[in-house]
Structure 1
């Protein structure tokens, strides 16, 4: 049975205005209209709305969500698996932060101090400035590097934490596929490769499929990349390279013409 816009708004706990906005963007257009011209939403529309809200909760911009859902190769099952992995990683990180807050509160109430090593444990050891000078020497004249530098200059500590969190979650999801024996050329692996490419586009620089394929080659050719990536799971760098290449071919991109 079709639902009206007000019924869907109550069900999804969002505003009618938001649903109208999604319609205008082409993000979620109702399948039908009543004789009076009112929007009517089907079960398939509700399923699409759920995807919109999942991606939105994970921080994806609306335009990016629209592109993802409009992709003819979009796989709902693979998307749900990826979303679950990303949300699980976020939940783990939030649990660690809650524990850190509780520890700080307990120390404050007792009049003691938190151990300096434990104080920032929840934030990890990500350092965005690492290899900065070398990156500038290798790619400083490229538009990708210049765009990445412009964006990075605006990021604050909480932005870098989020960037690390999202990147780690994508690599963990890839590692899970590798553990399960899933082929790098599978739909699931290629969808995650595409998610990683879009992640780079969201946070750093527009990354064409050919460039993304070249980045995968770099993950294997440069031992520092390989060593760091394979800390997540042995052999992950090779799996990423092959998944990036398969995804590039799926989108009609040939051999890499270079990376950033």
Structure 2
């Protein structure tokens, strides 16, 4: 996959998702900061983190959801943020680095819902086509774009919450659906001015520049001067 200088210029704005940029109605900055203080104090007082139980198979960027109801009922927050799903918002609040220095992040649910919808459509196509997958172009070794027309899902195009740019859905050899964060990662690399190490999972760069986690993603490694998705 080739990422041109022109595309990098298009993506050269703020790395924060549109929802958290100044001037937009929905801002996660205050919510994240308030919950970080509450989580830190809860852990200091109780010796544990206020998280909901998660299965071992749950992906990292979906796993440790904050128990907002517990924080609210025990007085660590005076109300659940309006941005939270629990209050009709479009995000879950998560904890990353739970064993070292717990940090509050945001899981954006619009992407989750779209990927789940595409996954159902892919599964249906696979079932009715003798196991064949609705693959498009091979974007990375063994990883393809999805033929949205074949699964009647053209209306579910995905827009990155980091850059505001439309990007591809990805399909691995097992038929598992993800979204492609390569352009967002490339932007982060350009901003950092540092050449990544070959064996580093480049999704960490997105976490450094945003409150949001790259949900429904594959790992990315630096190969031939660009981020390349790696099948798990």
With the shorter chain as reference, the TM-score category is under 0.3
Instruction: Name the larger-Rg structure.
Output: 1
Question: More relative contact order in 1 or in 2 (CA 8 Å, sep 6+)?
Answer: 2
Q: TM-score, normalised by structure 2?
A: 0.27
Q: TM-score, normalised by structure 1?
A: 0.25
The structure where helix makes up a greater share of residues is: 1
